[in-house]
A and B are shown apart, each in its own frame.
Chain A
Amino acid sequence: MSKLYGVLAEFDSPEELVEAVRAVRARGFTRLEACTPFPVHGLDEALGLARSPLGWIALAAAAVGVAAALLLQWWTGAVDYPLVVGGKPFFALWPSVPVTFELAVLLASFAVVIGMLALNGLPRLYHPLFEDDNFRRVTDDRFVLAVEAADPLFHANETPALLVRLGALEVRLLEEKA
């Protein structure tokens, strides 16, 4: 038993895809998915995607890194087992800079990568779109716009027709396995 996922429209250039997206959204469609082989600039505005919050995540992680590093160096050197090393202070800022910096970068990097995957809901090995045989070309040279059946304005006949009018090379309805 399978239900309808939506309609797929293939384009062969990024420009046409962007145009189509603009047009479809102008008609009030919201549940759209646009897939491209490389980042297409202008597409996110066309889809009205928000700016990615990754920057803030990285900043927070870096701050944690700095704090952790300084705490580690101060506590181990000056509190837990203070040892006189070359007559130097048990803790001083300058010699602590390198480790602090490195730890900040390390944590920030992890945060960014993990954050990116999380925001993208990856890893997700299964997706209805993968059911479509030709969808594979989206990582090669095809630019795909999918309008989900869940969209209130979706219509099994109208929508494909609309997409064809918008210059899609090919338009298919996509069934989703239950």
Chain B
Amino acid sequence: MSLVQISDSTPKPLETGRRYWRSLEELAGTPQFRRWVEREFPRGASELLSSSSRRTLLKLMAASFGLAGLVACRRPQEKILPLSKGVEHYIPGKPLYYATAMNLAGSVTGLVVEAHDGRPTKIEGNPRHPESLGACSAFAQASVLSLYDPDRSRVVLRQGRPSSWEEFARFAADHFRAEVLGRGSGLWLVAGSQPSPSYEAVRNHLLGRFPEARWVEFEPISREAMRRGAELAFDRRLETLYDFGKARLIVAFDADFLGVDSPGVRAIREFSRGRAVVSETDSMSRLYVAESRFSITGAMADHRFRIRSSEMANAVEALASALGLMPAHSGNFPWAAAVARDLAAHRGASLVLAGPGQPPEVHALVHLINEALGNFGHTVSFVAAERAPGEASFEELAAALASGRVQTLVVLDSNPVFAAPADFDFAANFSRAATTIHLGLEADETGSAATWHLPQAHYLESWGDLRTLDGTVSIQQPLIYPLYDGRTPAELLALLSGYKDQRAYDIVRNYWTARWPAQEAERRWRRALHDGLIEGTGAARLVPAVDRRRVLAAWRPRPAAGGIELVFYASPSVWDGRFANNGWLQEAPEPMTKLTWDNAALISPATAKKLGVTSGDVVLIEHEGRSAEAPVWILPGQTDDSIAVALGYGRTVCGRVGRRVGHNVYPLRTSRTAGFAVGVNVRPAGRRYRLVSAQDHHAMEGRPLVREATLRYWREHPDFAQHAVHVPELKSLYPEHQYTEGYQWGMAIDLNRCVGCNACILACQAENNIPIVGKREVARGREMHWLRVDRYFTGDEEAPEAVFQPVACMHCEKAPCENVCPVVATVHSPEGLNEMAYNRCVGTRYCSNNCPYKVRRFNFLDWHKGLEESQKLVFNPDVTVRMRGVMEKCTFCVQRIEEKRIQAKAEGRRPLRDGEILTACQQTCPAEAIVFGNINDPASRVALIKKQNRNYVMLEELNVRPRTSYLARIRNPNPELV
């Protein structure tokens, strides 16, 4: 991709203490940029027709002679735009890496972002950061695409008409005065959860100026129920922290802690370390999951109990009573006793948790159980959670709005008009406030309804700081100057409140340097920027005592409610709707259903039979007089009479990608049924709707693709994985090609660690410029993901087990694809890579037909057609952007291999170190399931792993000698329960 060209056109730094790029802002305006853009993507003939280039042509003819000259004229003239002034650390074409942090609904992940010539192109986890440990989630990986989203709001809107920050500043100066707002009794502010010290300082300054103003934190998907539960148990507002690494035994009640219930990645990393086994003698943790929706956590479970969310309380109660914490229980939970015994045997090393969808008293009871099991201080700990001064609940805001007591409503980085609980009819009352101000990345449902809409700066454009649950603070530094003149929430509050610092950079820098000794300040600041976190931050861990009386007093036994329940959950693609316009996420298959570009009402086969519907039938769901429609998708393993629907779809005021994608079920979700609603009425709407799944077939057909065993079986048959299939003695007609020299690249994927979180898919997409194709083309089976995660169901249809298997090009030593390519477009490198030369490919698709793993992807159409300039900036310049008509596939991130190799050459031709080269998928994998390296070096990690007895090769009997092998999945069921 000739975007590498931009390398020579890096703009000059901003004149602040800290220097950083503002390339687009600077270039976009200039004619040079426009011209560069035209040269960059030449319009063929038009090149010669424009008078200016005809002059060029004459010049060229003068400058060159004869045929050479004539021919040379056909070359479109490319411009090189060098800097005017140099920039420290910056070498054109060399990527730079900056530490920053991302906030998703209050969960913070520390990141390291790769910038090519001023363009952030790739997000990685920050190894120093406790919530990342080097990994990052699919959301983080995809967030870079949102940065360049051309549908982001670009201008200040007043009553929907273009305005300017200047105009707004004049308005604010005039409006946010004591004379107008008085003590602020009519002023309400709603904000998404943003745990940020400096931001809170500005906020508090504003609330200080207007003491009667009310502050509301609104997150459609929040941990509020957990905080309330803690309040109930400890009579204090606390955040609960889990250490899954220390837990040898985990019992999860409706808690998808590997999935959407903890959007960070620490949980996965800790959990998967607990599952890591090298030899059959090792011990591994055990996971019990009781849940209604079949989640990826459920897929990892050693025992999974299908229980409706509305009965989860009874299940917890049953466990509590089995542990002797409550009077004996009548409910029918046969496993409770055995689980209780198991827990009792793991005092201090076990962990019981409930999902954020469960009511406070359930969380309180869970705290009681954990305390009784001696888990406090080991696997469970707490930190204080402060409230903002004058913090009010969303309910109060809704009431105030309804009664017209809200004059001025400021909405920061939040979309309540779309996502507010249905019982508040917030959308209707929103306009009752005289002045509404919305700051957001897009002019969404709320923005378009507000008096003022202000473009917000993307986090990659923003200065700030972010605090994780455990109190660690990271500095958020921008990678690029705001593309569309956006501002951060802190900047807006500073503007409204006349805070001493007005610019995000000053706000955060001065906030921290003021807290440090002057002579230390600069060093510590630079250190914080470099490390991505501030030393010495981190809240004190508390181990309070549970007020057992309160907990039990608050507990009232629930009769098992009849009817069908409706469970709401955050979409692993669009979360609460905020990523709706992110194509990468929309196209990423939902881990369990493999659905793309949609949400659906997930129901069990039995329930489907009962309702007389099948996948694709639209059903009308009614509850308390509210109703919404959604297409049905039959998901084996769903709990009967329980419907799960992902939130966040069906956005109406949204960019081109996400508008009207999927079905909006917020209209069914009230403040009391945030987690689930019981007794909903479901009936077929008599319509069908095309749902598109990236995987049409869900059984392994008895083929030994994913190999698994119980821990016990493994101990009895250590080599079960190799003997799953008989491989006859294979002889070759020809002398075999030997791969014994130098580096020989290979990969091992541990199926016992992979949790199917999709992070690798998104990482691969970002690293390798993989296009999205849209729902229609996915339906035709033309998705382009180089790396896919296959999900198979095993066992009985109602209560199956699920396994995940990441599949990318296996780089077979005897690659069947290579033999059949007529033009040697795909051949083998001396280091065992199955190379794909796009520029040689004529596109016969024979290779794909002959690939037993079907990992090759063909550009059936020009997927990059009509990209806007800003979208082209996300491309990784080290990877060719493939044109229509050529085949492509996983390259083992050859660009990363070559980068390190060249670096090693430059450093005196030193050998490459093991682990020096990380593939994109490996680097981001929260579960550390993927290991890549030189199998020719017996000491390398990958070579050692391939020696393990769980190691096997998929379709080994074909004798294609893949370089990627798998480690068999091990389950660790409780002997008492099998």
Contact = CB atoms under 8 A, between A and B. Distances in A.
Is A in direct contact with B (CB under 8 Å) within the complex? Answer: yes
A14 B687 CA distance: 83
B828 A84 contact: yes
Interface string A59-97: 000000000000000000000000111111100101000
A84 B741 CA distance: 14
A26 B25 CA distance: 106
B442 interface: no
B827 A85 contact: yes
Nearest to B816: A86
B827 A88 contact: no
Majority secondary structure, A binding face: loop
Contact of A88 (B734, B817, B821, B830): B734
A86 B819 contact: yes
Interface in A112-129: none
B736 A87 contact: yes
Nearest to A92: B734
Nearest to A89: B734
19 contacts: A84-B827, A84-B828, A84-B830, A85-B824, A85-B828, A86-B815, A86-B817, A86-B818, A86-B828, A87-B736, A87-B813, A87-B814, A87-B815, A88-B737, A88-B819, A89-B734, A89-B735, A92-B733, A92-B734
A107 to B, nearest CB: 22
Interface in B797-830: 813-819, 821, 824, 827-830
- Closest 7 CB pairs between A and B? A84-B828, A86-B819, A87-B737, A86-B818, A87-B814, A83-B827, A85-B818
Interface string B811-852: 001111111010010011110000000000000000000000
B814 A86 contact: yes
Given A83-B828, A84-B828, 10 more contacts: A83-B827, A84-B829, A85-B821, A85-B827, A86-B814, A86-B816, A86-B818, A87-B828, A92-B733, A94-B733
Contacts of A85: 818-819, 821, 824, 827-828
B778 to A, nearest CB: 31
Interface of A: 83-89, 92, 94
Contacts of A86: 814-819, 828
A83 B830 contact: no
A21 to B, nearest CB: 56
Interface in B520-544: none
Nearest to B739: A87
A85 B818 CA distance: 5
Contacts of A94: 733
Contacts of A87: 736-737, 813-815, 828, 961
Nearest to A77: B824
A83 B824 contact: yes
B741 to A, nearest CB: 12
Contacts of B817: 86
A140 to B, nearest CB: 51
Nearest to A95: B819
Contacts of A89: 734-735, 737
Contacts of B737: 84, 87-89
Nearest to B828: A84
A83 B828 CA distance: 7
A87 B814 CA distance: 5
Interface string B697-736: 0000000000000000000000000000000000001111
A86 B817 CA distance: 8
Interface string B732-751: 01111100000000000000
A83 B816 CA distance: 15
A92 B733 CA distance: 10
Nearest to B827: A83
A87 B737 CA distance: 5
Nearest to B818: A86
Contacts of B827: 83-85
B935 to A, nearest CB: 16
B959 to A, nearest CB: 10
Nearest to A76: B824
Interface string B776-788: 0000000000000
A89 B732 CA distance: 11
Contacts of B824: 83, 85
Contacts of B828: 83-87
Contacts of B814: 86-87
A85 B830 CA distance: 11
Contacts of B829: 84
Contacts of B813: 87
B742 to A, nearest CB: 14
B536 to A, nearest CB: 56
A84 B832 CA distance: 10
Contacts of A92: 733-734
A73 B816 CA distance: 20
Central interface residue in A83, A87, A88, A89, by most chain B CB within 10 Å: A87
Central interface residue in B736, B813, B818, by most chain A CB within 10 Å: B818
Contacts of A83: 824, 827-828
A159 to B, nearest CB: 66
A87 B740 CA distance: 13
Contacts of A84: 737, 827-830
A84 B821 CA distance: 12
B855 to A, nearest CB: 16
Nearest to A81: B824
A86 B821 CA distance: 10
Contacts of B818: 85-86
Contacts of B736: 87
Nearest to B738: A87
B820 to A, nearest CB: 8
Contacts of B816: 86
A84 B830 CA distance: 8
B835 to A, nearest CB: 9
A83 B815 CA distance: 13
A14 to B, nearest CB: 53
A176 to B, nearest CB: 54
Contacts of B733: 92, 94
A89 B736 CA distance: 8
Nearest to A84: B828
A145 B847 CA distance: 65
B732 to A, nearest CB: 9
A84 to B, nearest CB: 4
B385 to A, nearest CB: 60
A86 B846 CA distance: 14
B787 to A, nearest CB: 23
A92 B829 CA distance: 20
A104 B626 CA distance: 80
B818 to A, nearest CB: 4
Contacts of B819: 85-86, 88
Contacts of B734: 88-89, 92
A158 B961 CA distance: 90
A83 B817 CA distance: 14
A87 B824 CA distance: 13
Nearest to B732: A87
Interface in B227-268: none
A109 B937 CA distance: 57
B746 to A, nearest CB: 15
B410 to A, nearest CB: 64
Interface string B481-523: 0000000000000000000000000000000000000000000
Nearest to B961: A87
A10 B817 CA distance: 69
A86 B961 CA distance: 10
Contacts of B815: 86-87
A88 B819 CA distance: 8
A89 B737 CA distance: 7
Nearest to B834: A86
Contacts of A88: 734, 737, 819
A69 to B, nearest CB: 16
B936 to A, nearest CB: 16
A93 to B, nearest CB: 10
A84 B734 CA distance: 13
Interface string B945-974: 000000000000000010000000000000
